[in-house]
A = this chain, B = another copy of it.
């Protein structure tokens, strides 16, 4: 099975390079040169550069999303009849993706890629991601509602949005933390980083709601 070997080499190399430089900035020739495989192998195994990106993303994201849903289900069981705990929901969302960085030998390139994907405006990738994330969004949206009963829907949407931004930025641009502040993001285990992120976002979700003025309808 030399094919599997080539396929994996392409996936690993593409993952690393996409994470480092972005999708558009990396050419197939960059990839095949680094992976030491033939140029045409990419199209033979994946069909197109876009399809390669999808394969790279889903290879890592699918198990992460499965684990997210599993952790959330377990949190529900643990809560029993009691209210779902916000921190448990957030941990279910964060832990799998942050652990994937530490566990796999990919050297953290995967999380940068996932973070980057959120901010990349590749239209095809966007559609692909919505499909990959559909179940996660549905389930966690419901879980947040349960953990924060009574929070206005619009406010909930915005806060989820802020939370997603903090998460994506942490995944994607951990190196910026070091360059701007001098704090080394890699100095501590992923558990500590997740703990910090949970603390921050949970407090944000629970913030006292400012009463926003109704939008003046002029028509």
Contacts and interface: CB of A to CB of B under 8 A. Distances in A.
Contacts of A167: 165
Interface string A175-219: 011011111000111001101110111111111111011010000
Interface in A118-175: 118-122, 130, 137, 141, 153-155, 157-170, 172-173
A160 to B, nearest CB: 7
A153 B208 CA distance: 26
Nearest to A165: B169
Contact of A157 (B157, B158, B177): B177
A173 B129 CA distance: 14
Given A158-B177, A179-B130, A119 B172 contact: yes
A5 interface: no
A183 B154 contact: yes
A101 interface: no
A100 to B, nearest CB: 19
Nearest to A192: B212
B162 A181 contact: no
B179 A169 contact: no
A200 B159 contact: yes
A212 B183 contact: no
Contact of A183 (B121, B157, B195): B157
6 contacts: A22-B24, A24-B25, A25-B122, A165-B173, A166-B166, A169-B169
Interface of A: 20-22, 24-25, 116, 118-122, 130, 137, 141, 153-155, 157-170, 172-173, 176-177, 179-183, 187-189, 192-193, 195-197, 199-210, 212-213, 215
